[in-house]
């Protein structure tokens, strides 16, 4: 007999899947998920026939007490008068076969017949009878003495990271002169208001035999607020769906296939570098997608994505199977207690085996619904778009069963999905609204940053005035770039937002100041001191294009082995490398690491004058690889980029055959056809590739020298604007010097 799935039945009858499941379960069928299969005969019985009648038993009559008001009661026990008393409820059959609720008086059996219920009993007045004193035994007295004399375990004292000498002394209950004297004995000269490093605080506490618990402002988690919204205020909201899985298994390609855009081409190495939020529509339903990066370096970001999501879609390549990041993504989704759906991707590739993937996931506890489990599996192809409608249909069905609701008529709150510093617009923060409605003009606070909503753009880049629960928006108006994952809240006034953000910022600044007081060392001194047996630290200043990449890079640096040479990140930030970063590096003997950013303004000249080394990267694992090689002393010849020409783009022209032509002027050096070039816009690298065509007066030329104009066409890139700059460079291998 033919079978149908629950979501197919729901589609035929035009009702939600949860109602279909309820009807089938009422008919006595074991149905758990929307993908469960049901015989047509059972469907007919559930919707058109009568469900099986339950066999009548005398259990309810037996469970009810003798004093309950029923006709089948025993004659030798009088009916109870305490029908309105508190007790355990029981159900009995009433007239017409209906069931009525009976409240049992649990004290009826203990009272004399005809006695009043507890509420009606007369209250006794007078003194309460004292309990007779019982002399303790010798064993009890001995145990009491031992408990009183037992040494109490000292609880650790909580001290903020970056605390001053005075604050540490007050927290430990010591005098300030005593603490300063101990620091002098340890070889550290400190004043009353000087901040101490974490190592100094722990060492100081150990000298006084005290335990401390250091609290960092960046690690503080805001107390979760539980909102008590009335049921009438709640409305349905779009589900938030996270795409997770192993690197290169097709997560971004799958999302691109759903929303018909191309993001993969703009990502370095085909790896998504930061989180984006988008919305898609299917059969009148709205779905919000978070594209969390899939590589192991972005573990913390992916975990954060799973916390704000409602449904996790685990993408597994049919030709590759379950990989380490696949297991990691499953663990994050389970820890967040969100439903899991599996998309078996790349079924169009030769050698793909979807059943093998099902078997590997079943061994991890993710059993397909086809095999009797409760996890939906959909075989898809992001390349050919096969089964994408079925994937969206299953997501809609799962979301209906979750009954996701939120109150839109209150102050907005949500989370930062991503943030960056745009040269033209200032801080741009992507926020996912989880409750309330965010409007233009609202005062916001997010961690150590605050602002007023100056403008909002939706996922399409269109200007909007309001954003409701489940919607991702770009917010303009923050005073800085908050960390990805920070909670965003609307407050009553800008003054309140400024005060709350200022308190957090002060804590972070104090900690940063304490970190800068660590060991100062240059790259040239690292191995000389390490070979002498001294434990040294390599100071770094890290700058990145977005907050998510910055956090991921610092997490990877923290994982490096630091037995012989430690790594100390004394400063980090989002945006181009400026003169202030160079001066800080000079004062601290630090190296500047730039990820997807370039030096701006006078920073290159100041760096040359101060002898500060600036290293720029576009792939995060090249940074970690070079740091590891430097720390281990296994340095191979270094690829050094030499700038051979600087080009100023003065005009842009569009041609039907060749695309966008950049009308350029060579300010220095010589530009050659096929040369490697880098397009820089406001200090940020926009394109890194090669020159596809070089023309002068409609003639193809091999090279153009300084002081001449020419037309340049870049390979596979057309987003060229007037005022952009081109850097032509050559890569040479030279021996690296430490």
Give residue-wise pLDDT tens across range 354-385: 889 999 999 888 999 888 888 999 999 888 88
| Number of DSSP helices (H) and strands (E) in the chain, helices first | 19, 36
Between the two ends of the chain, the Cα-to-Cα distance in Å is 77
- Residue 146: which pLDDT band, with cuts at 50, 70 and 90? confident
Crossing angle of the two packed helices 17-26 and 388-402, in degrees rounded to 10: 70
Residue 703: band (very low, low, confident or very high) from pLDDT cuts 50, 70, 90:
very high
Q: What percent of the chain stands above pLDDT 90?
A: 20
Classify 551 as helix, strand or coil: helix
Q: Is 210 helix (H, G, I), strand (E, B) or coil?
A: coil
User: Average pLDDT of 194-223?
Assistant: 74
Nearest Cα to Cα of residue 196 among 510, 641, 456: 510
The greatest distance separating any two alpha carbons of the chain, rounded to the nearest whole angstrom, comes to 118
Overall average pLDDT of the 49-58 stretch: 47
pLDDT in the model for residue 151: 57
Structure-model confidence comparison of residues 335 and 172, the more confident one:
172
CA distance 467 to 408: 9
Q: Is 187 left (phi over 0), alpha (psi -120 to 50) or beta?
A: left
For residue 451, pLDDT beyond 70: yes
Span 262-307, pLDDT tens digits: 344 444 555 444 446 788 888 888 898 886 554 343 444 444 444 6
DSSP character at residue 599 = B
CA distance 107 to 86: 10
Nearest residue to 515 (alpha-carbon basis) of 159, 162, 160: 162
The residue with greater pLDDT, 179 or 126, is 179
Q: Is the pLDDT of residue 693 over 60?
A: yes
Q: What is the edge-to-edge ordering of all strands in the sheet holding 285-291? A: 276-282, 285-291, 240-245, 311-317, 340-345, 376-379
The tens digit of pLDDT for each residue in 174-195 reads: 888 888 888 888 777 778 778 7
Concatenating the DSSP letter of every residue in 89-157 gives EEEEE-GGG-EEEEE--TTGGGSPTTPPPGGGSPPP-SPPPPPPP-PPPHHHHHHHHHHHHSPPPPPPE
Question: How many Å apart are CA 668 and CA 327, to the nearest integer?
Answer: 52
> How far, rounded to the nearest angstrom, does the alpha carbon of residue 553 sit from its chain's CA centroid?
15
pLDDT, residue 160, reads 79
Residues 6+ positions from 723 with CB-CB distance below 8 Å: 649, 681
Tokens 């001294």 sit at which residue? 534
- Find, among 647, 651, 679, 680, the residue nearest to 666 by Cα: 647
Alpha-carbon distance of 501 to 494, in angstroms, equals: 10
How far are the Cα atoms of 144, 206, 317, 339, 357 from residue 343, in angstroms, in the given order? 63, 53, 8, 13, 10
Q: What is the pTM of this model?
A: 0.50
b or e along 49-83 (b: 16 or more beta carbons within 10 Å of the residue's beta carbon)?
eeeeeeeeeeeeeeebbebbebeebeeeeeebbbb
What is the C-alpha separation between 616 and 71, in angstroms, rounded? 89
Of the two residues 66 and 481, the one the predictor is more confident about is: 481
CA–CA separation, 61 and 384 (whole Å): 64
DSSP state letter for 730: E
Measured CA to CA in angstroms, residue 421 lies from 204, 488, 573 at distances of 40, 18, 10
Provide the pLDDT for residue 412: 92
Whole-number pLDDT of residue 129: 52
Nearest of 30, 16, 22, 23 to residue 46 by alpha carbon: 23
Rounded-to-integer distance, Cα 712 and Cα 662, Å: 5
Q: What does DSSP assign to residue 404?
A: -
Query: What's the average model confidence in pLDDT over 464-486?
Result: 90
pLDDT at residue 239 in the model: 92
In sequence order, what E strands does 479-515 have?
A: 487-491
Query: What is the share, in percent, of the chain residues with pLDDT greater than 70?
Result: 74
Q: How many CB atoms lie within 10 A of CB 101?
A: 9
pLDDT at residue 515, as a whole number: 57
User: What is the C-alpha to C-alpha distance for residues 182 and 171, in angstroms, rounded to an integer?
Assistant: 16
CA distances for 648 relative to 333, 404, 651, 652, angstroms: 49, 53, 9, 11
For 24-33, 90-99, 348-357, 364-373, which range has the lowest pLDDT when averaged over its residues? 90-99
* Out of 34-48, 132-146, 153-167, 288-302, least confident range: 288-302
Pair type for strands 565-574 and 536-544: parallel
For 199-272, list the strands marked E by DSSP.
Answer: 212-215, 235-236, 240-245
Pairing of strands 443-446, 449-457: antiparallel
Closest-CA residue to 692 (of 667, 720, 669): 720
Burial of 145 (0-12, 13-18, 19+ CB in 10 A): exposed
Determine contact, residues 109/82, Cβ cutoff 8 Å.
Answer: no
Mean pLDDT of 392-414: 90
DSSP run (H or E) holding 251: helix 251-259
Where do we find the tokens 């091999």?
Answer: 702
Full set of structural domains in the chain with CATH: 3-48 (no CATH), 157-215 (1.10.1660), 235-406 (3.40.50.300), 413-511 (2.40.30.10), 528-634 (3.40.50.10050), 638-734 (2.40.30.10)
Which DSSP letter does residue 386 get?
B
Reported as a pLDDT band with limits 50, 70 and 90, residue 552 is confident
Average pLDDT estimate for 306-335: 82
Q: Tell me which H or E stretch contains 581.
A: helix 579-588
Summarize the confidence of residues 127-144 as an average pLDDT: 66
Nearest to 550 by CA among 484, 628, 474, 626: 484
Bigger pLDDT: 128 vs 186: 186
At 669 the pLDDT is 93
- Three-class SS of residue 298? helix
Write down the pLDDT at residue 133: 62
- Smallest CA-to-CA distance from 451 within 508, 513, 505, 511 is with 505
**Who contacts 205 (Cβ-Cβ below 8 Å, separation ≥6)?**
157, 172, 211, 212
Token reading at 400: 């209906």
- Whole-number Å distance between alpha carbons of 345 and 257: 12
Rounded CA gap, 566 and 151, in Å? Answer: 39
Instruction: State how far the alpha carbon of 266 is from the alpha carbons of 261, 263, 716, in Å.
Output: 11, 6, 11
The radius of gyration of the chain's CA atoms, rounded to the nearest angstrom, is 35
Among the listed ranges 23-37, 58-72, 479-493, 713-727, which one has the minimum average pLDDT value?
A: 58-72
Which tokens in the block code for residue 285? 């339903």
Instruction: Work out the pLDDT band at 554, boundaries 50, 70, 90.
Output: confident
The partner residues of 642 in beta bridges, in order of sequence, read: 730
* Sole residue written with tokens 């001053």: 164
38-52, 208-222, 506-520: range with lowest mean pLDDT: 506-520
Tokens of 735: 């021996």
**Contact partners, residue 570, CB within 8 Å, separation at least 6:** 512, 515, 516, 518, 539, 540, 541, 584, 588, 590
Is 649 within 8 Å of 663 (Cβ atoms)? Answer: yes
Report the alpha-carbon distance of residue 189 to residue 200 in Å, rounded: 11
Q: Give me the pLDDT at residue 633, please.
A: 58
Q: What is the pLDDT of residues 421-433, one digit of tens each?
A: 888 889 999 999 9
Check if the beta carbon of residue 455 is closer than 8 Å to that of residue 431.
no
Q: What is the pLDDT of residue 460?
A: 80
């Amino acid at each position: 007999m033919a079978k149908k799935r629950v979501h197919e039945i729901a589609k035929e009858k035009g009702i939600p899947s949860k109602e279909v499941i309820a009807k089938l379960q009422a008919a006595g069928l074991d149905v758990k998920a929307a993908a469960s299969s049901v015989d047509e005969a059972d469907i007919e019985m559930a919707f058109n026939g009568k469900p099986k009648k339950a066999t009548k038993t005398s259990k309810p009559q037996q469970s009810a007490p003798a004093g309950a008001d029923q006709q089948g009661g025993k004659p030798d026990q009088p009916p109870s008068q305490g029908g309105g008393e508190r007790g355990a409820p029981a159900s009995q059959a009433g007239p017409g076969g209906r069931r009525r609720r009976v409240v049992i008086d649990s004290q009826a059996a203990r009272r004399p017949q005809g006695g009043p219920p507890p509420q009606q009993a007369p209250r006794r007045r007078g003194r309460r009878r004292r309990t007779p004193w019982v002399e303790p035994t010798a064993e009890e007295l001995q145990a009491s003495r031992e408990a009183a004399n037992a040494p109490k375990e000292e609880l650790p004292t909580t001290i903020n990271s970056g605390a001053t000498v005075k604050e540490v002394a007050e927290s430990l209950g010591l005098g300030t002169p005593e603490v300063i004297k101990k620091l002098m004995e340890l070889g550290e000269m400190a004043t009353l208001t000087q901040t101490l490093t974490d190592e100094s605080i722990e060492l100081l506490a150990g000298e006084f035999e005290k335990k401390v618990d250091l609290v960092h402002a960046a690690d503080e988690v805001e107390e979760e607020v539980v909102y008590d919204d009335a049921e009438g205020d709640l409305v349905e909201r779009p589900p938030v769906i996270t795409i997770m899985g192993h690197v290169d298994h097709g997560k971004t390609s799958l999302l691109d296939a759903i929303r018909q855009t191309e993001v993969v081409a703009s990502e370095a190495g085909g790896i998504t570098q930061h989180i984006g939020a988008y919305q898609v529509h299917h059969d009148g339903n709205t779905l919000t997608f978070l594209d969390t990066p899939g590589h192991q370096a972005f573990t913390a970001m992916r975990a954060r994505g799973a916390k704000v999501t409602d449904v996790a879609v685990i993408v597994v390549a049919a030709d590759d199977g379950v990989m380490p990041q696949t297991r990691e993504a499953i663990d994050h989704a389970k820890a967040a207690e969100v439903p899991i759906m599996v998309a078996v991707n790349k079924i169009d590739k030769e050698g793909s085996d979807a059943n093998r993937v099902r078997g590997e996931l079943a061994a991890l506890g993710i059993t397909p619904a086809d095999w009797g489990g409760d996890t939906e599996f959909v075989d898809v192809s992001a390349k050919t778009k096969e089964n994408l409608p079925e994937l969206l249909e299953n997501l809609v069905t799962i979301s209906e069963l979750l009954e996701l609701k939120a109150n839109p008529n209150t102050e907005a709150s949500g989370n930062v999905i991503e943030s960056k510093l745009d040269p033209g617009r200032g801080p741009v923060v992507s926020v996912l609204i989880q409750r309330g409605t965010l409007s233009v003009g609202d005062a916001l606070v997010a961690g150590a940053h605050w602002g007023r909503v100056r403008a909002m753009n939706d996922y399409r880049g269109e200007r909007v005035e309001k954003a409701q629960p489940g919607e991702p928006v770009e917010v303009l108006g923050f005073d800085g770039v908050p960390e990805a994952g920070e909670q965003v809240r609307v407050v009553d006034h800008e003054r309140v937002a400024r005060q709350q953000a200022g308190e957090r910022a002060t804590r972070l600044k104090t900690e940063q100041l304490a970190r800068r007081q660590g060991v100062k060392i240059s790259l040239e001194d690292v191995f000389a001191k390490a070979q002498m047996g001294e434990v040294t630290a390599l100071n770094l200043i890290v700058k990145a294009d977005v907050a998510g990449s910055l956090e991921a890079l610092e997490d990877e640096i923290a994982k490096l082995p630091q037995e012989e040479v430690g790594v100390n990140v004394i400063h980090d930030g989002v945006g181009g490398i400026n003169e202030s970063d160079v001066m800080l590096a000079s004062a601290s003997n630090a190296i500047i690491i730039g990820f997807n950013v370039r030096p701006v303004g006078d920073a290159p000249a100041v760096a040359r004058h101060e002898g500060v080394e600036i290293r720029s990267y576009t792939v995060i694992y090249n940074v970690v690889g070079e740091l590891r090689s430097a720390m281990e002393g296994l340095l191979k010849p270094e690829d050094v980029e030499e700038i051979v020409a600087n080009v100023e783009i003065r005009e842009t022209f569009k041609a039907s055959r060749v695309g966008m032509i950049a009308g350029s002027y060579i300010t220095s050096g010589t530009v050659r056809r096929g040369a490697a070039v880098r397009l820089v816009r406001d200090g940020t690298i926009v394109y890194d590739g090669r020159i596809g065509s070089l023309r002068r007066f409609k003639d193809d030329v091999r090279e153009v020298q300084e002081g001449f104009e020419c037309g340049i066409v870049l390979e596979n890139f057309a987003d060229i604007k007037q005022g952009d700059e081109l850097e032509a460079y050559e890569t040479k291998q030279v021996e690296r010097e430490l």
